[in-house]
Structure 1
Amino acid sequence: MMENDASRAYPVLDVELLGKPIHKIRDDLTRLLSQSVPDITLHIQHWARISDLALEFKSISTVRCSETAPDYYSSNFCHQQQGLLRLSMTNSLLMALSDRFYGADIARKAEGIPSLSSSDKRLQQRIGALFAKVIAPEEMWSRTESQLAPGAGLQAQYTVTFGDHQGELWLELDATLIQTLIQELALTPTQPIKSRFDVALTQTPVHLTAILSRKTMPLDQVLSLKPDDILPIELLNQVPVTIGQEHLFNGRIAEQNGQLVLILQDSKEQQR
């Protein structure tokens, strides 16, 4: 299948997640992550001694996760029930936060820096743990070098601003973690929807129609009909039985215990 710009801009959900409440997980995460912003902001302000730091939750959207590592250094966390969470941010933002956190005398610039230091990475892992425990208790997470499972996932985007610095921060959940959250929140119906639909369908009332007689008349005779007129009719030998426009059975008229009854003889399939 050829990939075009449209397919990259609007990723398609994996078959495993179709029909499952990924939208409910996204809505719940939107609420949790947006409500946690003040608490996370206070922690980072305290750690890095940055009183004017502002963390803004921008959005959460469906993305396609890749097995390859992102362009920026990422801190990955594995949920004990399976699934990975990944936090990453721009190098310039991480270095600026790290310089303030460790009290560096000279602020570094991202340009020309070959790699992040171990201290930078430890700070990002510490920040990542803050976000992870918003989604699940701290004891349910462990650090991992594994990459996110490929396929449909969710990505939350933040903007971090302090002083003259501004950068982006991303939080990603892979499809396995989404499925774990669906199960933990008991969002999957305990009874399959098909069986409930079948029960509801079989209990739906319908009108059964049987045509006992047909009569063909010239239009002038039809126009001359009036109340109390008597029309001679003959019962059909084969009576069609329908629901709406759907022909279900043929039957015949008979007498039983002094009243007329309709005896079903065959179905539409049997006539073929």
Structure 2
Amino acid sequence: MIDAMRPYFESAHLDAREYFHRQIGIDLHPDADAPGAHACYPSCLPSTARRGLFGEVMAGMVTEAFQAKFVGGHQWCIPIFLFRQHADVEAYLWDLARNPDRVRQIFGRFGSDFLGLSLNEDGEVVRFIVGEAKWRQRLTESAVDSLMLGPWEEDEETGERTRSGRGVWFEVNRDTPLPHGLRQLQRLLELRDPEGHQAAILSIDQAVLLEDAPPLPRTNLILIAGNGARDRKALDVLIGWEETPEEYTAPHDLQVVELILTDGERLIDGLYSSLWQEAE
């Protein structure tokens, strides 16, 4: 499985890898004993950060692989991932390259976890998909409830415990119709492929800048990944799919994906440890 997944993951991280290595001043493919060789992105990141990245890449992979089965049956492409827009990773790599002992946890990246585009025959953006990807070591009902609805809070006067309401549903519902990540994606396309995505760049610019421009239709994707509960039966789901969950109040189409793994940590660590190893 790692061998099959490696090319997609290397492609997803390539832009950020080139950017971060250039920023921190180490060669893209340093020798094993070269200065900074221990700080190669993304394999050098701590395990918690790797799990977050894994979910974001998987959101893109399942979107492109199962697009015909997604709500609406739209054709999706993810021209570039937004991983370079992670300031704390850059700060972490800068310190780590100069001091191997500077290992610490990393703050998450702000904004959408990933974005994909649906293009017409002229290459213009006609719809976009915005993804929230979350990893939990064990996907139990209580763990998913905490993820989607927020942690428990206790009323100081009554002692009654209720969910805070500040989970994934809250964040998705309150997101702006055009997320900041769409502008970030446009800027990256201007840098990486201005001619190949000229029409997409222009159509995003029109959507962002023109007050009277028709809004771009949007699809929301929520992907939760992790190891299944010990008592989980085949095809059990943790978020109902027959009807739209009542907690979801955004006006956009909703797609939910539950990625159930066995020994997921072993897969993620093995996968990220293998990236670009042959080249280096």
TM-score tier after normalising by the smaller chain length: under 0.3
Higher relative contact order (CA 8 A, sep 6+): 2
Structure 1 length-normalised TM: 0.24
Greater helix percent: which structure?
Answer: 2
Greater strand percent: which structure?
Answer: 1
Structure 2 length-normalised TM: 0.23
